Structure 1
Amino acid sequence: MTTLNYGLIGCGMMGQEHLRNIALLPDAKVAAIFEPDAAMRAIAAEMEPQAVMANSIAEVLAVEEVNCLLIVSPNYMHLRQLEEIAAIRPLPILCEKPLFTDPADAPRLAALRAAYPAPIWVAMEYRYMPPVARLAEEAEAATGGVRMLTIREHRFPFLEKVGDWNRFNRNTGGTLVEKCCHFFDLMRFILKSDPVRVMASGGQSVNHLDEVYDGQTSDIWDNAYVIVDFASGARAMLELCMFAEGARYQEEISAVGPKGKIEAHVPGPGRFWPAHLGAPPVPQVVVSPREPKGPRLVEIPVDPQLLAAGDHNGSTFYQHQRFQRAALGQQQVEVSLEDGWWAVAMGMAAQQSAATGQAVRLDQVAYGVKR
């Protein structure tokens, strides 16, 4: 295999971002698409007129040309779709986060992980945002060993999705799973340690309060604080606010250690930046040593073509580049099923802590047993 011929499962807003980025890859194309929503299916067919428009996952897998898969369906479908693929025709898979949404499903994920014969890469785009990747690469040298890590996301509310599936915790796993598993993955990735205790406070304060679907009021949260203790002794904090779209930067990450501090400042999607303010902000990394004092700021511009292809600062493209190499056997998977499991487990622990007011130890809960 030298060319990736993707079979795409789900082609809503994020699926279409993947289509635009796959189109920028050499030796890659979309061979088949399964999208049950008529409006999204029509858009996908227009974007990829050469692709077979399938009516099921089985039909996608029956397209002989398909040699890898991309899952971009609603959260609660991911695990059963992975299991269906495993039973029919296991191929290399790039699966959007989160891997699962119900704590009771953790054993099913463990069984899949033990038996699946091909690479599965969990889509954690935030690792591949250029300023975040720079921070992760330089954090150890800049800090002398990270002891405190803070991630702040101040952004826009949840966007509308097909069938409004993202308005309910039962479909998403909860905001701290759906939205924040990216950040919990970043914590483990940057700190190179596993979490042991999670404390959180969160809720629904501003958004979706009066939204009713089929007689049910939306229960998805829009803000939270989460503190995580790690086995290494480091600690991390997440601050999420989803009614702060007026901010200059959407993500702000800081890592601090005995030698100094390093920060990444990441703007939100350029399409949301007000035109009257001129050009959107450029991502930045700032290194602030304790001695000699004097912050050093470096701008990390992103290729405009990549910015136009999606809302994630080029990270979707860079992730596909690496997945392509993994699917071709040229490198190892960088975001494994275990990584995806940890990100969900941390989010579930945070949801539980915020709901109960109690700290949650990850070695004392049912989804805390990954093997």
Structure 2
Amino acid sequence: MTTTRYGVIGCGMMGQEHLRNIALLPEAEVAAIFEPDPAMAAAAQALAPGTVMAESVEALLAEPELDCLLIASPNFRHVEQMERIAATKPLPLLVEKPLFTDPAHQSRIEALMARYPAPVWVAMEYRYMPPIAALLAEVEQATGGVRMLTIREHRFPFLHKVGAWNRFNRYTGGTFVEKCCHFFDLMRHILKSEPVRIMASGGQAVNHMDEDYEGQRPDIADHGYVIVEFASGVRAMLELCMFAEGARYQEEVVAVGPMGKIEALVPGPGRFWPADLGAPPVPQLIVSPRQPKGPETREIPVDPTLLEAGDHNGSTYFQHLEFLHLVRGTRTAPDVSLRDGLISVLMGQAAQESMATGKAVDLRLSTEN
């Protein structure tokens, strides 16, 4: 097998996680990187020594023998960079979430959907976390068909990023877009139905209140609730709190149906777990049938090498394995399409609107597959 060569755009915190995981992949390497921030570029080069450090997106695309591309730049850069790639070198592409942040850019994403000639995979890593993957494999059998779905994330505040772009709605699309598109994607994936109505309440209560960036105070929300009604009649709820890093588990996914309940419990990044408390928590899957009663709890351990490579319970590695099958032609379609990425953002934007107005927002999803 020949080595698959990646070109990478953006190597901040998430981009560097991708670099560490690509280094673990069989017959894959990072051939070229574009990262404009000097400190981030130096960190990226240390992780991928010998890689060509391009001075622009255009210079990266001019590199010969690239097999695929990865976009891990700040959210608000994704659309323009995808358009440049489409016009210059439309290789198979893995693009970080959220796909876009500005509602005015929806038509540009739809144009890319219509004309981009190679497969595009939107990086919804949470699908590939081992405990969530275990839930996905058993959810129908355990529940007899999901009738209620709850996702809770109790976590740490937004980390510091270059230029503090993740402190402002205008760059992120808002917390329900930036952070929660993962969860809206999971809802659709689990329920196999489309959202029709969204209600949200939330705001900024604790985090970043005393920060100031050239006279501008962050306006990013740090907590909220979102209820989503689906065309199937099923309801789902998201509970987000970004000042709850003391919790044992960071994510909890709970699905309930006429036959029982199934839960996936996911700890946060091990590097944040206090050493004096011993070993970090191990992910769990809990299946609770209605008859006979008696919850079954299983630990779903993650390879320590993968935990060391990133903050997402090994999911970045497993996602790349599947993306490589796409690049190498051993599978024909991405797990997470441009349409999936688009709808996850539309759901987040509807939640942002509902939070701002206090009104439910109806969704009309007319975009073709």
TM-score band w.r.t. shorter chain: over 0.9
- SS of equivalent residue, structure 1 residue 141: helix
**Can you list the C-alpha shifts for 1:41-100, whole angstroms capped at 9, x where unaligned?**
111112212110001111111110211100000000001100000001100010000011
The TM-score, its normalising length taken from structure 2, stands at 0.98
The structural deviation recorded for 1:369 is: 4.3
Distance in 2, Cα, partners of 1:298 & 1:121? 31
- Pair 1:291-2:291 in alignment: yes
In the alignment, which residue of structure 1 is the partner of 2:314? 314
- SS of equivalent residue, structure 1 residue 212: coil
In the alignment, which residue of structure 1 is the partner of 2:5? 5
AA matched with 1:186: L
**Can you list the C-alpha shifts for 1:9-49, whole angstroms capped at 9, x where unaligned?**
00011111000000000110000000000100111112212
In the alignment, which residue of structure 2 is the partner of 1:275? 275
AA matched with 2:315: S
- Pair 1:356-2:360 in alignment: no
Distance in 1, Cα, partners of 2:313 & 2:270? 9
AA matched with 1:345: L
* Structure 1 stretches of 4+ moved >6 Å: none
Distance in 1, Cα, partners of 2:151 & 2:68? 33
AA matched with 1:237: M
In the alignment, which residue of structure 2 is the partner of 1:244? 244
- Pair 1:344-2:345 in alignment: yes
List aligned pairs for 1:1-371, cutoff 5 A: 2-331=2-331, 332-363=333-364, 368-371=365-368
- SS of equivalent residue, structure 2 residue 65: coil
AA matched with 1:283: P
Contact 1:341 / 1:370 at 8 angstroms: preserved in 2? Answer: no
Contact 1:125 / 1:315 at 8 angstroms: preserved in 2? Answer: yes
Contact 1:2 / 1:328 at 8 angstroms: preserved in 2? Answer: no
**Root-mean-square deviation (CA), in Å?**
0.9
Distance in 2, Cα, partners of 1:338 & 1:329? 21
Contact 1:148 / 1:256 at 8 angstroms: preserved in 2? Answer: yes
Gaps of 5+ in 2: none
Q: How many residues are aligned here?
A: 367
The structural deviation recorded for 1:328 is: 1.1
AA matched with 1:370: T
Gaps of 5+ in 1: none
Distance 1:180 1:199, change over 3 A: same
AA matched with 1:7: G
